Amino acid sequence: MRELLLVRYGEIFLKGQNRPVFMRALVKRVKRAVQDLGATVYLNDSRIFVTDYSDQDEAIRKVTKVFGVHSVCPAIEMPKEDFDAVAAQAVAMMADLKGTFKVSARRSDKRYPLDSPAINGQIGHRVLVANKNLSVDVKNPDHVMNVEIRDHAYLYVKVIPAVGGMPVGTNGRATLLLSGGIDSPVAGWMIAKRGVHINAVHFHSYPYTSDRAKEKVLDLARILSESCCGIRVHVVPFTKIQMEIHEKCPDEYTTLIMRRFMMRIAERVAITEKSEALITGESIGQVASQTMTALGTTDMVVNMPVFRPVIGFDKTEIIAIAEKIGTMETSSLPYEDCCTVFTPRHPATHPHLDIIEAAEAKLDMEALIQEAMDGIEIVTC
Ligand code: ATP
Ligand code: MG
């Protein structure tokens, strides 16, 4: 008899030809998540099992964060031949529970002497006799004693919900514009949840923004990495571009012009990373550079699709996700961002394209972009 984790995934993705690709990707991602715990991960009878871990709680914490996992069940695996022993184990696992229950048996071994209704009946009866705090409710029980008869017997009661989504890498790649704020880590997480492997670009304006501000962004990438499976962060030196914009462009347009530079550079990075899209943490109307007109003028400078998964979210809703995924605390640290250092007093909310283009014509854009690209430092988180 031994303890293990039975990992459940969304059946919806498993139809048709995608199934083997999905399963291989998921097993690989679960293995990566628990590698530090010395755990073994394997596929058996279309189920993923995790065993031999040094710490079960930590294994559960890590596996429930893997995109593509819908729930994790701590289970007991034991020989199926001695039915009395299986029933006794079920009784022991329900000893501390109160309320209503049912037994749900599944039998993939059709030669087993008892069929599913017989297993349900026999184990249900023994649980009722042993635990006076439980009664049966087959329609809407508080607890379900799952008994699966496969190569062995597997028993579990607890079903711990996981993040869901699809395994990272099954839906291509995208590049996240990652600031140290609350919104962009959430945006990246939401797209990665759909199976997209993300990498990131961070614009750093040293010495106007400190090394600690950069470290904060890398810490955010490390937190995301638990679910996102390794994030390459491209740290782009942005000071020169910001100084040039500050000197040569109208004050109320500096933020927008800066954002257009960010998009152009992010797209170039995205191409080197074989990404198919850009991701930002913008939400309509949150700040002046996030009016619909302003977003339109930043989209214009790139050819790739730009995904903004929090576009319709209130700040409180974004914060709730940041708390759930564990980025909120780090995002709340007070270090400055390059956007805030050069913020104009009255940013244009209804920018005119002709003014933007006239201002940009005063800059040696290609040289500035190339110099920033050449100065990129890549950190793998
Ligand atoms: P966040 O909380 O993600 O910082 P925000 O509300 O502060 O967002 P802005 O500062 O206007 O909004 O930035 C909008 C988006 O632009 C961010 O969500 C992020 O995707 C991108 N961005 C802003 N600053 C940077 C930066 N220094 N490096 C990379 N991307 C950035
Ligand atoms: Mg920001």
In this structure, are 125 and 215 located in the same domain? no
Contact predicate 134/155, CB 8 Å: no
% of the chain with per-residue pLDDT over 70: 97
Which has the minimum average pLDDT: 6-15, 79-88, 145-154, 250-259?
6-15
Same domain, yes or no: 6 and 116 = yes
In the structure, what pLDDT confidence band is assigned to residue 44 with cuts at 50, 70 and 90? Answer: confident
Ligand 2 centroid – CA 216 distance (Å): 12
Q: For a pocket test of ligand 1, which of 236, 313, 339, 377 has the largest count of ligand atoms closer than 8 A to its C-beta?
A: 339
- Within-domain flag for 65: yes
- Both 201 and 237 in one domain: the answer is yes
Beta bridge partners of residue 176, listed in sequence order: 200, 279
- Identify the pLDDT of residue 210: 87
Give tens-digit pLDDT for 49-84.
999 999 999 999 999 999 999 999 999 999 999 999
- Within a domain: 168: no
Distance, CA of 80 to CA of 105 (rounded, Å): 13
pLDDT at 12 over 70: no
- Say what the pLDDT of residue 334 is: 85
Residues 213 and 184 in one domain: yes
| Res 15: pLDDT | 65
CB 330 within 8 A of CB 216: yes
Q: How many domains does the chain have?
A: 2
**In-domain check, residue 330:** yes
pLDDT of residue 335: 74
Classify residue 166: in a domain, yes or no.
no
User: What are the tens digits of pLDDT across the range 325-361?
Assistant: 999 999 999 877 766 667 777 888 889 999 999 999 9
Q: What is the pLDDT of residue 345?
A: 75
pLDDT, average across residues 170-189: 96
Q: Are residues 148 and 183 in the same domain?
A: no
The DSSP-derived string for 31-85 is HHHHGGGT-EEEEETTEEEEES-S-HHHHHHHHTTSTTEEEEEEEEEE-SS-HHH
**Shared-domain flag, residues 56 and 113:** yes
Q: Examine the domain organization and report whether 177 and 112 are in the same domain.
A: no
Residue 11 has pLDDT above 80, yes or no: no
Pocket-testing residue among 176, 184, 238, ligand 1, by greatest number of atoms within 8 A of Cβ: 184
Question: What pLDDT is recorded for position 142?
Answer: 97
Task: Give the position, in ligand 1's atom list, of the atom nearest the Cα of 200.
Answer: 29
Domain end position, chosen among 108, 128, 161: 161
Q: For 223-275, write each residue's pLDDT tens digit.
A: 999 899 899 999 999 999 999 999 999 999 999 999 999 999 999 999 999 99
What mean pLDDT, rounded, does the chain reach? 93
Q: Are residues 229 and 109 in the same domain?
A: no
Domain annotation covers residue 111: yes
Amino acid 14: pLDDT: 66
Q: What is the pLDDT of residue 93?
A: 97
Q: 132 and 207 share a domain?
A: no
Closest residue CA from atom 4 of ligand 1: 181
Residue 10 tokens, joined: 């969304």
In this structure, what CATH number is given to the domain that contains residue 361? Answer: 3.40.50.620
Residues within 6 Å of ligand 1 by CB: 177-179, 181-184, 201-203, 262, 280-282, 286-287, 289, 337-339
Choose one of 161, 196, 213: the last residue of a domain: 161
Domain check: are 95 and 185 in the same one? Answer: no
Q: Tell me the pLDDT tens digit for each residue of 297-306.
A: 999 999 999 9
Domain that holds residue 70: 2-161
Same domain, 345 and 215: yes
What pLDDT score does 133 carry?
97
CATH number at residue 89: 3.30.2130.30
On whether both 177 and 150 belong to a single domain, the answer is no
Q: Where are the alpha helices (DSSP H) in the chain?
A: 19-34, 56-63, 83-93, 116-130, 183-192, 211-228, 239-248, 254-272, 292-299, 315-325, 328-331, 338-341, 353-361, 365-374
369 part of a folded domain: yes
167 belongs to a structural domain: no
Task: Choose the final residue of a domain: 109, 136, 161.
Answer: 161
Which residue's CA lies nearest to atom 8 of ligand 1? 183
Comparing 136 with 343, which gets the higher pLDDT?
A: 136
